[in-house]
Structure 1
């Protein structure tokens, strides 16, 4: 005999009906074995009735038989419904709680078999349609059938209580099953959309081979989705459907971006090619700048710039080679390679730009400090004095952690100024030393303010 769950909540009725439909579609239901009882539900065939006390006993026995048959039917129906609930849970949930539920249901099934056997035996033992039915036999039949009915009702109560305890597990399973069909359909639609997007971009002349390979790799996943959750399990099918949606959507989005990506690469190729040509011209102007530096300033002011023309020329040459490789990659629609090569070209040209600009900037700064070093000196003295006032604010004596580095800065400034005396002063050392002093002062100011808070 099979079993079922008595639906304890009115709101669960519609949901259980929906889930049974889903289970019937996505799961392989277990066969329900029902005892063949040719006479178990019979209300009695054609029989002769005799008046008197015998007929009363026969009627009471028949009523007991009918009540037992109704109890048997109700238990059978409840067991069938509950089996669907158990199958729903086991299809989705492999947790210890779900396994315990299966074990308890199996144990209940054994008790149901026992009381069902007792009922069937009672029915088969007594033929209540016999013309010569003895009243004592009718009494005994009534007693046995009533007892069988009571046991059937008792076990049905156990079944109902067990079904009520399945609520959380069943709700979780129903939620996942309710997601199953929409999730699989979304995956199918996502693959179709990605395929259409790929067809459109190919129609415009782009090969998109990497996207086509990615889409082809999803074909086995679609096959598994079509095979159903009955074969692969509900959780695995849901995860597979979600993964297919994500990957198919990524392919669709990338296919949609391909024309824009190609246009952007074309634009960058033109821009970087133009920039390389301009830097070639600028690189040619570095040598005259170095000649001016060599003529007017000490060796220490320009020696580090000597390699700039050769290095800049080499970097421009390498950039132009990478541009050719990037152009070939773009023509072959190797978009990642083209993008990576253009990034390398940009880095090389940035390096050239910085080096070439450094030579001109050096000459301008040295010219300015040679004409008027006092501006740099006063700028640095002001920074030191401002930091000293902050260090003394609200104090009689400064904190040694603040005073010591500020005193060192004063000494460094004095040494740098003294170094300007002589026939060929090192103006570049002077500039870099004063910049270092200002950086040290800024660190001390930051330390003081962090210790004193926003009011400092």
Structure 2
């Protein structure tokens, strides 16, 4: 929004009508009859002229305040203030016109001015002064009502120049950072595109608030500042980003090689599992060697793509590809480790299942004691899952009888029971904690 320049009122045009006596002009020689009435009329004229000057000054000062408000505030309140000022200006024009008419009607310096004419002049000039004073008072009341609007407008204007300067400095800093990165051998093409996109915004900032409005200019300056700062920070981080990408490429290649070596040891582990345990204990691991080989090959292909992206300085692509490689290797690593871990756990539980049983029953007893704490009978919502857990433990232990027990089922069943017991314990504690509050 540009500055709204309201038309100059009639009062400004009337300055020429003010007598020279207010500005220290030459004196006057009185002679003839009715000199007393002439002097009184002249005094009334001088007083009216002083009132006129005061009103003119006040109106000009207030016009500056209104222009400040309209330059910033396009709200209904701001528009109403401008409209009310225009209406007040029209009323001031009316009283100013009456004053000018009275001054033009009576030539108080004329020789032979009769007492009656001087008296009428005095009366009209006194009425003109009264109306001028009334308009001045109305202008003062109007000015007082503008306080909040003017304060907000001045606050906005005070932000304007610093906001624009901060935006310009941010653009210069971003440009300098980009130049430094390019000097180090990094192209930073995407950053250059982002910085170039801010050029039209800088042009609009340079055109100023008179063309685009104060609020819009401040908003644009803040947006340019934010985007330029983002470009600068990304440019400053780019060398470290390139170094980190290189480190990750080396690390993931090394890890892929290590997983390939470890995957070669899965087949002997599977052979041992087949020889010593029932099929239910190892069937889900049968595909691990082949899947590991496929995943590692896929990861190595993605690593080559990531290297190409890095060489071409396509940093987002390189980062995304490296994340894919890491996810593939994590999954493969877990699968390769699972075979050896399975054999270790099966060997341990088949040698001494009692330790696993006691661990589970200890968790059950603790949960049962908690469920009975402060009660003669447990809450059925807690008792039912705990009773079911006891039955599951008994069935799992009974399942170990026989020539070829399913040790893996036993292990997973014990773990599942402990998890269900832990959920019951958590529910009891949450309910009692809520009751305490």
- TM-score interval (norm. to shorter): over 0.9
**Gap change, CA 1:110 and 1:300, over 3 Å in 2:** same
More moved, 420-429 vs 378-387: 378-387
2:366 to 383, 386, 396: 386
Matches within 5 A, 1:9-408: 27=3, 29-30=5-6, 32=8, 34-43=12-21, 49-51=29-31, 53-408=33-388
CA RMSD, Structure 1 to Structure 2 (Å): 2.0
User: How far 1:383 moved relative to its partner?
Assistant: 1.8
For residues 95 and 136 of structure 2, the distance between their equivalents in structure 1, rounded to whole angstroms, comes to 10
**Gap change, CA 1:397 and 1:143, over 3 Å in 2:** closer
1:49–1:55 contact (8 Å) kept in structure 2: no
2:392 to 392, 412, 424: 412
For residues 105 and 200 of structure 1, the distance between their equivalents in structure 2, rounded to whole angstroms, comes to 55
User: How far 1:29 moved relative to its partner?
Assistant: 4.3
For residues 396 and 385 of structure 2, the distance between their equivalents in structure 1, rounded to whole angstroms, comes to 16
1:88–1:173 contact (8 Å) kept in structure 2: yes
2:17–2:100 contact (8 Å) kept in structure 1: no
What is the count of residue pairs matched by the alignment? 432
Would you say 1:421 and 2:410 are equivalent positions? no
Show CA shifts across 1:176-206 (max 9, x none).
0111111111111111111111111111111
TM-score scaled by length of structure 2: 0.94
For residues 392 and 140 of structure 1, the distance between their equivalents in structure 2, rounded to whole angstroms, comes to 110
For residues 46 and 58 of structure 1, the distance between their equivalents in structure 2, rounded to whole angstroms, comes to 17
For residues 195 and 272 of structure 2, the distance between their equivalents in structure 1, rounded to whole angstroms, comes to 63
**Gap change, CA 1:50 and 1:394, over 3 Å in 2:** closer
2:4–2:71 contact (8 Å) kept in structure 1: no
**Gap change, CA 1:420 and 1:138, over 3 Å in 2:** same
1:47–1:131 contact (8 Å) kept in structure 2: no
For residues 208 and 248 of structure 1, the distance between their equivalents in structure 2, rounded to whole angstroms, comes to 15
2:209–2:217 contact (8 Å) kept in structure 1: yes
Q: Which runs of 5+ in 2 are unaligned?
A: none
User: How far 1:384 moved relative to its partner?
Assistant: 1.8
For residues 150 and 435 of structure 2, the distance between their equivalents in structure 1, rounded to whole angstroms, comes to 63
Map of 2:422 onto structure 1: 442
For residues 380 and 65 of structure 1, the distance between their equivalents in structure 2, rounded to whole angstroms, comes to 111
1:47–1:130 contact (8 Å) kept in structure 2: no
Show CA shifts across 1:294-325 (max 9, x none).
11111100000011111111111111111111
User: How far 1:28 moved relative to its partner?
Assistant: 6.6
Q: Which runs of 5+ in 1 are unaligned?
A: 1-22
